[in-house]
Amino acid sequence: MSPTTSQPRFQLYYWPLPFRGSFVSYLFAYRDVPLLEVADFGEINRLKSVLPGEQDIPFMGPPVLRDLESGRALSQMPAIVLYVSRELDLMPEDDFDLAMCMKVLMDCNDLLMEICRYNGSSMWEREDWKEFRSERLPRWLDIFEESLGRGTIGKDPVRFADIGIYALFGNMTRCLPELEPDVLNRAPGIHALCRKIGSTSSLAKFVAGQERE
């Protein structure tokens, strides 16, 4: 895909939050490829309220991606990541490596779901949070650190799963800084991978812009 001087081929609909949409937008930012983002609450609410038979892609909630060249639309974060990663040269060539990268991405999705209490359907109670932080979160950190140790992620060249790790843990430690020691102590390799991915100039500039907004 062409660099930033070209016109965006893809349009992403997602709330103006560093959340699930980041797994998509960070891919483009990492490659310094333009992405047309629609983050207007009113417009997204309008699109998600349309009857499924009248939607470009039947969906419950964003992110939604529109391919401006073909006119096709796609929902569900993992499906979108899979679709654009080949265009952005972030896709493993080996089928098993691809499946393992998707496994890591789905692990990220599952942990994000737990942290946000199923997309905000309920709020954390103090004791429940303490239990999660002392039991579930360490287990998850062990899983990601082991995935790194086995070479599923963290290899050259960078793949979509590596950027997914940053979208999860980079945002977690930035927006919930009290959790950074948890990640650093339990999964130092993951912490280092996040710092490496996040130091990419085009991605760092994009994230800084997110913070300003």
Could you tell me what percent of the chain has a pLDDT over 90? 92
Start-to-end Cα distance in the chain: 27
pLDDT tier at 18 (50, 70, 90 boundaries)? confident
The whole-number average pLDDT for the span 140-165 is 97
Could you tell me what percent of the chain has a pLDDT over 70? 98
Which residues are CB-contacts of 91 (< 8 A; sequence separation ≥ 6)? 82, 85, 98, 159, 160
Per-residue model confidence as pLDDT tens digits over 63-122: 999 999 999 999 999 999 999 999 999 999 999 999 999 999 999 999 999 999 988 889
207-212 contact pairs (CB < 8 A, 24+): 207/18, 207/26, 207/29, 207/170, 207/174, 210/18, 211/174
Rg of the chain (C-alpha set): 17
Q: What is the pTM of this model?
A: 0.95
